Structure 1
Amino acid sequence: MPQMPRIPVRLIAGIFVIVLVLVLAWTSYYTVQAESEGVVLRFGRFLKTVEPGLHFKFPLGIDQVTVLPTRRQLKLEFGFVTAGYTNIDQPAREGAEERSMVTGDLNAALVEWVVQYRIDDPKQYLFDVRNPGQTLRDLSEAAMREVIGDRTVDEVITIGRQDIEVAALARMQELAKRYMLGVRVDQVQLKNVNPPAEVQASFNEVNKAQQDR
C-alpha cells in the first residue's frame, strides 16, 4: 500500500507564519469615518481619542476601538417614533406613558417632542455613565415633565410652546452637565401637543368661544 507523502514541517510552519502575519496586519488597522471620533482602549483602559482617517492599533485585543458619531447631530423622539429612524436609544414603539403629562393646573396633556444633541466628550460619554443614551432619555423626560408641570394647560397646548422649548432646553443642558453625560443638548422641539382624546371636543369648544369674543 503506497504511503501518503509527508508534508515538510517547514512548509507547515511557513504557511502558519504567513497566515499569522496576514491576520495581524488585517487586525492592526482601522478606519474612523468622517463624522466620528475613535476612542482607543489598551488592555481595557482609556488611551486616547483619534480623528477621522486610517489608524494603527495593536492587534489580538490589546487595543480596542469604539467609534462614536461626534460630528453628527443625533436626536431622540418622545411620545412617537418616526418610521425608519435608527437610534439604539430610541424605543421601537410609541411611548403612550411618555407623552402623558399633568399640567400645573392639574389637567392632562399629550406632549410629543424631539431632543437634538451631539456627543461632545467621547471619553466622558463612554466611561462616566453606565448607559448615557438611556440616561439622557430619562433626564429629558423628567425635565419636560417639570416644565409642563409649571404651566397651565392653555400655555402648554396653545400660547406657551416656545417658552416651554426654551425652558426645557435649559433644564436638559443643566442636567446633562451635572451628570457628566458627555453630550451637548442643542435643541428641544415640541411636536404634537393636544388634550386627551376624551376631552378634545370640549377643549376645542372652549377655544372657539374665546376666539369668538
Structure 2
Amino acid sequence: MDRNPDWPRPPEVTLPPVPRVKASWVVWAAVALALLVALSQSVYQVQPEEEAIVLRFGKWTGEVHEPGLNFKIPFVDRVYKLPTQRQLKEEFGFRTRRPGVRTEYEKKGYEHESLMLTGDLNVADVEWVVQYKIRDPYKFLFKVRDPVTTFRDMSEAVMRQVVGDRSVDEVLTIGRAEVASEARRLLQELCDRYEIGISVEQLVLQDVNPPDPVKPSFNKVNEALQERERLVNQAWAEYNRAVPKARGEAEEQIRRAEGYALERVNNAKGEAARFLSVYEEYRKAPEVTRTRLYLETVEELLPRLGDKVVIDGNLPNLVPLLGLHGEALAARPAEGGR
C-alpha cells in the first residue's frame, strides 16, 4: 500500500547513546557471581539431632558428618540429613489431629489398619504406636527404596501375625503386654533382616477394642471376667491368711509333742538309772538301803500332810482342840495311833 504524500510525517525520536561496557567487567562479574554461588553451596549446617551423609558423584564417601558446620564440594557433593537422635513415631489405626493437653485423634478412614482377625476367628480393633530411631543412616537411605512405607508394612504384618496367634480374650485383656513385647521383638528382627537401619525403641498398644457392633457384649464379658478375677483374688487372700496360721499351729503342736516326748524319755532314762544305782546299793547293804529309802520317803511325804498331832488312842477324856501356830485345829483320836 502506497503512502499518501499529504499525510503528516511522524516525529523523529533520538535515543540516548548506550554506554559501552567493557568485556572484562562482564567476565569479572560472572566470575564473582560464580564464586559467591560456589561458596554458598560449599557450606552446610547439621543440627544437633541430625547426622549427614554426603554423596560425591552419586557415591557415598563413607563418612557420616556430625552436628555442626561442615563443608562439601559445590555442584559435586549431595548432602542428605537425617534426624538420627530424634525419636520418630508411626501411628496405626488412627492419626493425631491436634496434640496438646486434650489430644484429638481421628480414626475414620483407617479401619483397614486396625481391624484384624484373632486366633479364635474373632475380629479385634487394634490401634498401636511404634517409636523408633534411625540407627544407620546409610542403610536407611540406600538399602530400601522407601524405608518408612516398608517399615509401616512390616509393623502391620507383625501385629497381624501376633494377634492371629492369640484369642480375642488375650488380646483384649490379659495378653496386651505380651502382644506388644512379642510384636516389638519380631519387628526388630525384620528390620535387621532387611537392613533397613531402624532401631525399634517401643511398641505400645494404644487401644484395643472389639468392633463397635459387638462392643456392649464384650464389655459384659469383661465385667464378668473382672468379677471372677476379684473373687479368685479374694479367695487366695483368705487362703493365705488361714493356711499359714493352721500350719503354724500344727507346727507348734508337733514341736510341743516332740518336746514332751523328749522330756518323758529323759525322765524315764533318769528314773531307770536312779533305780539301777539304788539297786546296786541295795545289793551291797539291803537293810541299810531299805531303812534309808523309808526315811527319805517319810521325809518327803510328811511336809505335804500338814501339821499332825500324835496321841495315845487309849487316853480318855482328851479335849480334841489344840492351838497350833495360833490356829484352832480339831484333832480326833486315831484308833491305833501312836
Which residue number corresponds to residue 54 of structure 1?
69
Alignment of 1:120-159 (within 5 A): 120-159=135-174
1:71-127: CA deviation from partner (whole Å, max 9, x where unpaired): 111110000101257xxxxxx975211000111111000000001111011111111
Which residue number corresponds to residue 129 of structure 2?
114
Q: Given the two structures, how large is their TM-score scaled by the length of structure 2? A: 0.59
Segment of structure 1 superposing worse, 3-12 or 117-126? 3-12
CA distance in 2, matches of 1:76, 1:5: 64
| Secondary structure of residue in 2 paired with 1:4 | coil
Alignment of 1:30-179 (within 5 A): 30-47=44-61, 48-60=63-75, 62-84=76-98, 94-179=109-194
Whether the 8 Å contact between 1:81 and 1:94 is mirrored in structure 2 is no
Structure showing the higher strand proportion among its residues? 1
Whether the 8 Å contact between 1:172 and 1:185 is mirrored in structure 2 is yes
CA distance in 2, matches of 1:187, 1:149: 21
Alignment of 1:198-213 (within 5 A): 198-213=213-228
CA distance in 1, matches of 2:167, 2:82: 40
Greater relative contact order (CA < 8 Å, ≥ 6 in sequence): 1
CA distance in 2, matches of 1:24, 1:93: 50
Which residue number corresponds to residue 88 of structure 1?
none
CA distance in 1, matches of 2:189, 2:109: 27
CA distance in 2, matches of 1:177, 1:46: 21
Q: CA deviation at 1:211?
A: 3.6
CA distance in 2, matches of 1:208, 1:69: 45
1:143-191: CA deviation from partner (whole Å, max 9, x where unpaired): 0000000111011011111111110010001000001101111110001
CA distance in 2, matches of 1:169, 1:116: 10
Aligned-pair Cα RMSD in Å: 1.6
- How many equivalent residue pairs? 206
Q: Given the two structures, how large is their TM-score scaled by the length of structure 1? A: 0.92
Query: Cα gap change, 1:117/1:58 in structure 2, threshold over 3 Å: closer, same or farther?
Result: same
Instruction: Select the structure of larger CA radius of gyration.
Output: 2
User: Alignment identity in percent?
Assistant: 50
Deviating 4+ runs (over 4 angstroms): none
CA distance in 2, matches of 1:205, 1:24: 71
Q: CA deviation at 1:204?
A: 1.2
| Unaligned segments of structure 2, at least 5 residues | 1-13, 100-106, 229-338
Q: CA deviation at 1:4?
A: 1.2
